Structure 1
Amino acid sequence: GYQKVSNPEVRSKFEKAWGTELNPNPGLKATDVFPAAIEGKIKGLYIFGEDPVVSDPDTHHIIKALESLEFFVIQELFMTQTARYADVILPGVSYAEKEGTFTNTERRVQRIRKAVTLKGDMRLDTDIITDLMNAMGYKQPYLTSAQIMDEIASLTPSFAGISHERLDSGESLQWPCKSKDHPGTPIMHVGHPVRGKALLYQAAYKPSQELPDDDYPYILMTGRILYHYNAAAMTARSEGLMEIAGEGFIEVNYKDAKRLGIENGEKVRISSRRGEITATARVGRKVSEGETWMPFHFPDSPVNVLTNAALDDYARIPEYKVCAVNVLKAD
């Protein structure tokens, strides 16, 4: 809720609600955790519903970080590539097996309702976390999803007016929703920024850390396709989606392909300073000359073996969109 732990007033509010003292120091950004694990600064890690071996840059670097940990726990739906490195796997449940809400990038809080009950040892994510809290000495009762939403509303001003009761009555609410009679905010900035005046910063140009050269003459960009979501832990288990899009590929400009002797549909080898993979070439005009593009969803072409883990100075986002590679016809 954009409340900084370094702010004494904010920290005091949460400490009073939770009955415990909070560390005033902000934690690491997610992408800074893995280098810290390799350096021995982080000994244990708890990953919740993420598959960084597939989705994060420089796969070998991620695996080295996970293997450097003394203890690694993951809470997941499936045996993902990352889960294979875990000491303990806590089986959670999917969106269709629980009550709650999702908040999308439109800021709309959407109610979800339990649709199915499956057999097995999986449990509600909130129950797993509650068990851990109690096991570690913090007395925490089990709460319903509605009660958890009420707690969020009591501590997060932008969610103060949102509740299951309002959502169940048919209201469509987008934060900020600052009181129980507030209608929500369909458009965030009307006439002027909500803060009054925009806060602008001068941005100094910083070149990418890795640009094409004689050894790796092409730029590789990565991204998503319509049919799969992130690491494809769920979507790759859909036969229908896999029939439409079931293997990795690389988009190559037709002029580059002609020089390289590559035909559409042929297998190619893609290499960077970090590794090498193979993929099917899609030759055409979707990318410019000197550029290539690959999705990161597919285990047969794990593109993040190639990508660079260089981070920007502020948000600590990796350079997924700029990576120097070479492309050759497969033997």
Structure 2
Amino acid sequence: MAGLATSFGSGAMTNSISEIEQAELLFLIGTNTTEAHPVIGYKMRQAARKGAKLIVVDPRRIELAEEADYWLRIKPGTDIPFLNGLMNIIIAEKLYDQVFVEERTENFAALKETVEKYTPEYVSELTGIPVEDLYAVARLYAGTDKAMAFYTLGITEHVCGTNNVMSVANLAMLTGHMGRPGTGVNPIRGQNNVQGACDMGALPNVYPGYQRVIDPVAQEKFEQAWGVALSGELGLMIPEMFDQANAGEIKAMYILGENPVLTDPNSNHIRSGLEKMEFLVVHELFLTETAEYADVILPAASFAETDGTFTNTERRVQRVRKAVEPLPGKANWQAIMALGEKMGYPMGYSSAEEIFREMASLTPSYGGISYARIDAKGLQWPCPTADHPGTPYLHANAFVRGKGLFQSIEHIPPAEMPDQEYPYLLSTGRILYHYNVTTPYSAAIKSMWSEEYAEVNPEDAARLGFITGDTAKVTSRRGEVATKVRVTDRVPPGMIWMSFHYGETPTNALTSAAVDPVTKTGEYKVCAIKIEKIREAV
């Protein structure tokens, strides 16, 4: 994993979206691509219809499962034993890329020792996947020349999310599916500029370009560039911020373009933290559920009122041009600059391009990117010099650390599983109709899918007396919500699935407070609930 830090540490795809059409196999685990990333999902469908093999690993029967050569209905929270089980078979049958492993990786012996105990029979018992499917998928993935692996929040939103990611990397390196077109490990980013925000240091442990804040050399570099003294101490992740807000240690917060009341796990904990703050500023387009707690609301500019760049999931830096002047009178960067001046730190930028030039000068992977070069078409980082063509795929000749480091990873069960009091498992996700929208402010969108429908398996529905359209109360140890019910075999027995888009049904009042210890990402995909009917369908 250490050798893959540039790509996986930043959440970026190792390869390019256009390579999907070159791939011979697409391995999807924990990603409902057609609904959460519809453009990429369409390309996957095109590739499958042209003959690419499609493996889908998901507890729900998502759209792509209908077209898959293999749909593996995995039990939530068992990704590590599943991946270890595939590697067990691949190593036992000597299907792994021995040249790649010998020349480009290290710690193979430790990986082999770990996965030996994950026999197909043991893995089948843990995951619910038939033994014969484990063998078929392992042989297919290892035996295909160009295989691309994709994952999203179904892998990362667990207490073992970081280990899940490293397990996917282990599998790709073991089979030599790395450093070539049509291969790689490809996490798909959730929104249009999440990648760019992380690249530019919107994380508490790094400066732009993933330069560590605890590195004295990086600290001195940015102190000179910005003309201020910097602390050199790690900042707080979002869950830590709200823990401290609830403890009375964080007393003020500035939130730009985020709606944690609706989108963060255990949202009642978020609400109480906001209530305890002495001063809250929310910089937003709408009066969101979070903005209702604000002492001051600053009007934000939308993407259509913005000049600058976005960096997408394949590391492509692209120009964004405003279509209309900002309705608030200022672009967001101008509002932040004005705020900085009021607080005693004048910045004095005259344009978004001037800001980008400074960013590129301080960020080695962006060093060769300029507005002139990306005027018509974006460039993929790393692009260190003005004559560099950009990098369509990573790790062509070596990993960042030299050799890729296999990690020995054991199964870590979810923090909370169903029990006698809360007998059902809740998993959450997105729906296409509210793509990238957390609250349906658009009347047109709301007319297409106006309210939440919890998916319930027919066996559970019969036991509970539900029909589609009934209203249910869903309760966890943290809160309760009311929702309509849809009876469907898209979900397995014992599992309830809900989206998180509706303010009227704030699903994240239910989700677990448990987080991944490294990334502090919440375990949105697994928590224990009970469900009961409160109103029959009209």
Normalising by the residue count of structure 2, what TM-score does the alignment of the two structures yield?
0.59
1:305 matched to 2:512: no
SS in 2 for 1:311: coil
> Residues of 2 paired with 1:180 and 1:166: CA distance?
9
> Residues of 1 paired with 2:364 and 2:235: CA distance?
22
Residues 47 and 200 from structure 1, CA distance in 2 versus in 1: closer, same or farther, beyond 3 angstroms?
Answer: farther
Query: Which segment is superposed worse, 185-194 or 126-135?
Result: 185-194
Residue identity matched to 2:467: E
User: CA offsets, 1:110-154, max 9 Å, x none?
Assistant: 2111112364x4521111111121111112103311111111100
Q: Post-superposition shift, 1:230?
A: 4.7
In terms of fraction of residues, the more helix-rich structure is 2
Choose from 269, 292, 297 the match for 2:473: 269
Q: Post-superposition shift, 1:265?
A: 2.2
* Corresponding position of 1:208: 414
* Corresponding position of 1:114: 322
Choose from 250, 265, 269 the match for 1:42: 250
**Contact 2:263–2:438 (8 Å) recurs in 1:** no
> Residues of 1 paired with 2:382 and 2:340: CA distance?
30
> Residues of 2 paired with 1:192 and 1:246: CA distance?
50
Q: Post-superposition shift, 1:194?
A: 4.3
Residues 192 and 255 from structure 1, CA distance in 2 versus in 1: closer, same or farther, beyond 3 angstroms?
Answer: farther
* Corresponding position of 1:187: 393
Residue identity matched to 2:396: V
Residue identity matched to 1:226: L
> Residues of 2 paired with 1:59 and 1:230: CA distance?
19
> Residues of 1 paired with 2:225 and 2:441: CA distance?
41
SS in 2 for 1:264: coil
Q: Post-superposition shift, 1:192?
A: 4.6
Q: What is the correspondence of 1:78-93 to structure 2 with a 5 Å cutoff?
A: 78-93=286-301
Choose from 50, 53, 58 the match for 2:266: 58
* Corresponding position of 2:452: 248
Q: Post-superposition shift, 1:289?
A: 0.8
**Contact 2:319–2:378 (8 Å) recurs in 1:** no
> Residues of 1 paired with 2:277 and 2:503: CA distance?
24
* Corresponding position of 1:157: 364
Q: Post-superposition shift, 1:266?
A: 1.8
* Corresponding position of 1:128: 335
> Residues of 2 paired with 1:39 and 1:201: CA distance?
37
Which segments of structure 1 move beyond 6 Å, counting only runs of 4 or more? none
> Residues of 2 paired with 1:123 and 1:228: CA distance?
28
1:322 matched to 2:526: yes
* Corresponding position of 1:217: 423
Query: Which segment is superposed worse, 299-308 or 47-56?
Result: 299-308
**Contact 1:230–1:297 (8 Å) recurs in 2:** no
**Contact 1:92–1:122 (8 Å) recurs in 2:** no
Q: Post-superposition shift, 1:161?
A: 1.0
SS in 2 for 1:37: helix
**Contact 2:472–2:485 (8 Å) recurs in 1:** yes
Residue identity matched to 1:20: V
> Residues of 2 paired with 1:275 and 1:300: CA distance?
14
Residues 283 and 146 from structure 1, CA distance in 2 versus in 1: closer, same or farther, beyond 3 angstroms?
Answer: same
> Residues of 2 paired with 1:214 and 1:122: CA distance?
56
Aligned-residue Cα RMSD (Å) equals: 1.5
SS in 1 for 2:322: coil
**Contact 2:423–2:530 (8 Å) recurs in 1:** yes
* Corresponding position of 2:279: 71
Residues 32 and 229 from structure 1, CA distance in 2 versus in 1: closer, same or farther, beyond 3 angstroms?
Answer: farther
* Corresponding position of 1:145: 352
Q: Post-superposition shift, 1:248?
A: 0.7
Residue identity matched to 2:333: T
> Residues of 2 paired with 1:133 and 1:141: CA distance?
10
Give unpaired runs (5+ residues) of structure 2: 1-208
**Contact 1:253–1:286 (8 Å) recurs in 2:** yes
Q: What is the count of residue pairs matched by the alignment?
A: 327
* Corresponding position of 1:278: 482
> Residues of 1 paired with 2:235 and 2:326: CA distance?
36
Choose from 292, 301, 313 the match for 1:105: 313
1:287 matched to 2:491: yes
> Residues of 2 paired with 1:231 and 1:216: CA distance?
30
> Residues of 2 paired with 1:305 and 1:200: CA distance?
38
Q: Post-superposition shift, 1:175?
A: 0.9
* Corresponding position of 2:140: none
Residue identity matched to 1:206: I
Residue identity matched to 1:296: F
Q: Post-superposition shift, 1:41?
A: 1.7
Q: Percent identity, aligned pairs only? A: 48
* Corresponding position of 2:220: 12
Q: Post-superposition shift, 1:72?
A: 0.9
User: CA offsets, 1:38-61, max 9 Å, x none?
Assistant: 112211111111000000111211
> Residues of 2 paired with 1:30 and 1:65: CA distance?
12
1:176 matched to 2:382: yes
Q: Post-superposition shift, 1:201?
A: 3.3
Query: Which segment is superposed worse, 6-15 or 186-195?
Result: 186-195
> Residues of 2 paired with 1:220 and 1:22: CA distance?
43
SS in 2 for 1:66: helix
